[in-house]
Amino acid sequence: MSSTAGQVIRCKAAVAWEAGKPLVIEEVEVAPPQVDEVRIRILYTALCHTDVFFWEAKGQNPLFPRILGHEAGGIVESVGEGVKDLKPGDHVLPVFTGECGECAHCKSEESNLCDLLRINTDRGVMLSDGKSRFSINGKPIYHFLGTSSFSEYTVVHIGCVVKINPLAPLDKVCILSCGISTGLGATLNVAKPKKGSTVAVFGLGAVGLAAVEGARISGASRIIAKKFGVTEFVNPKDHKKPIQEVIADMTDGGVDRSLECTGNVEAMISAFECVHDGWGLAVIVGVPQKDAVFKTQPVNFLNGRTLKGTFFGNYKPRSDLPSVVEKYMNKELEVEKFITHQVPFAEINKAFEYMLKGEGLRCVIRLDEE
Ligand SMILES: [Zn+2]
Ligand SMILES: [Zn+2]
């Protein structure tokens, strides 16, 4: 039993007081975990586009003050009532979407869209009592994605907490709790390219490059995109023809698999139309704008092309993420190459600057040092 169990913890958190304004490191109070909740000491967290999107709050309901952050790694400090399979000291990754284990989706082998704990960007409170566990002088601070990892301590529903190998370095594997697993799983679990096949990846942020990493692990012989592990790069701006025709010419009729990781609907159409007839499969990973419409000629389907979409790489967080961590531990999966920056917690706003300037892939924010 830790000495802080059952008590309010005062610690530092980076609070987003208003849309688009730099985060402020504040002393916050973190209430003890309630039924089916755990309190986690966050050691490392990374910045993802989704944090920036909700911090800018341009297209959605603004909810402030809020503690952002959802890619993270930490250690369980204490557990609430009813928590059996986690204990203080366990190494964990909090995840923005969950797995209750009881609903129709959790019971289906084919889905990871848990009814209870599916991503909810509008909720700023805990499920059990509709309250926040964070406060400053009694004033509640909202949660984000059920994780709020930009805090030295956070409270998370047990269904969104993944217990991992305690030997795994948390400053590396913390980035597996969102974007990297999304791209990797899209390839390994959905596109499933055969050894020796040709794979095209659209969009080369962290998610797209993780899809490329999946193609590399699968033994794809040609990976058409850019940067590490990629065999050929196509820049749409260099060609007058639609990119799907350029790719079809390069590959004798189309690629075996393609993955779309930008969210741009034109890229989605290209990704679908560049797969080979007869067997080609395209997977949509990027999140489009609300009113986007996907258009293609139905004959593309009749000619044996398949289109699929995926959420979080089809991984069920609690069941499947430990094995992704093991892939890294077995040196099958490379993680270090995605971490281009590191900053101490006090300089968290630098991570936002890097992302806004489009510099690098992942910035890990270290909460482990004073
Ligand atoms: Zn994310
Ligand atoms: Zn469920």
Q: Name the residues around ion ligand 1, CB cutoff 5 A.
A: 48, 50, 178
Query: Is residue 157 located within the same domain as residue 76?
Result: yes
DSSP 5-71: TTS-EEEEEEEB-STTSPPEEEEEEEPPP-TTEEEEEEEEEE--HHHHHHHHTSSS----SB----E
Contact assessment for residue 32 and residue 79, using Cβ atoms and an 8 Å cutoff: no
Query: Is residue 214 located within the same domain as residue 145?
Result: no
Q: Judge whether 327 lies within some domain.
A: no
| Distance from residue 15's CA to the centre of ligand 2 (Å) | 30
Q: Judge whether 321 lies within some domain.
A: no
Mean pLDDT across the chain, nearest whole number?
94
The rounded radius of gyration (Å) of the Cα atoms in the chain is 21
pTM of structure:
0.94
Residue 192 scores a pLDDT above 60: yes
DSSP annotation of 256 reads: S
Query: Is residue 173 located within the same domain as residue 190?
Result: no
CA angle 241, 245, 246 (to 5 degrees): 75
Residue 97 scores a pLDDT above 90: yes
**pLDDT for 1:** 56
Reported confidence tier of residue 56, pLDDT bands at 50, 70, 90: very high
Reported confidence tier of residue 369, pLDDT bands at 50, 70, 90: confident
Angle, nearest 10°, between helix axes 243-250 and 265-273? Answer: 30
Query: Is residue 115 located within the same domain as residue 225?
Result: no
Q: Judge whether 137 lies within some domain.
A: yes
Query: Is residue 355 located within the same domain as residue 304?
Result: no
Q: Which of the ligands is closest to the CA of residue 72? A: 1
Q: Which of the ligands is closest to the CA of residue 177? A: 1
Q: What is the CATH number of the domain that holds 207?
A: 3.40.50.720
Q: Which of the ligands is closest to the CA of residue 287? A: 1
Query: Is residue 169 located within the same domain as residue 196?
Result: no
Residue 18 scores a pLDDT above 70: yes
Contact assessment for residue 69 and residue 147, using Cβ atoms and an 8 Å cutoff: yes
| Distance from residue 101's CA to the centre of ligand 2 (Å) | 5
Residues with catalytic roles: 48-50, 70-71, 100, 103, 106, 114, 118, 178, 362
Residue 336 scores a pLDDT above 70: yes
Q: What is the CATH number of the domain that holds 341?
A: 3.90.180.10
Looking at the DSSP bridge assignments, the partners of residue 224 are 200, 232
| Distance from residue 179's CA to the centre of ligand 1 (Å) | 5
Q: Judge whether 329 lies within some domain.
A: no
Structural domain harbouring 259 = 183-311
Average pLDDT over residues 3-15: 96
**pLDDT for 226:** 53
Q: Which two tokens stand for residue 354?
A: 């890097």
Q: Which of the ligands is closest to the CA of residue 111? A: 2
| Distance from residue 49's CA to the centre of ligand 1 (Å) | 6
Distances (CA, A) of 72 to 170, 184, 251: 8, 17, 39
Query: Is residue 215 located within the same domain as residue 138?
Result: no
Contact assessment for residue 286 and residue 207, using Cβ atoms and an 8 Å cutoff: yes
Distance CA 184, CA 1 (A): 37
Our count of domains for the chain comes to 2
Query: Is residue 14 located within the same domain as residue 162?
Result: yes
| pLDDT tens per residue across span 105-163 | 999 999 999 999 999 999 999 999 999 999 999 999 999 999 999 999 999 999 999 99
Q: Judge whether 285 lies within some domain.
A: yes
| Distance from residue 7's CA to the centre of ligand 1 (Å) | 30
Report helix, strand or coil for 320: helix
Q: Is the peptide bond before 65 cis (omega within 30 degrees of 0)?
A: yes
Query: Is residue 161 located within the same domain as residue 252?
Result: no
**pLDDT for 219:** 96
Lowest mean pLDDT among 14-18, 107-111, 232-236: 232-236
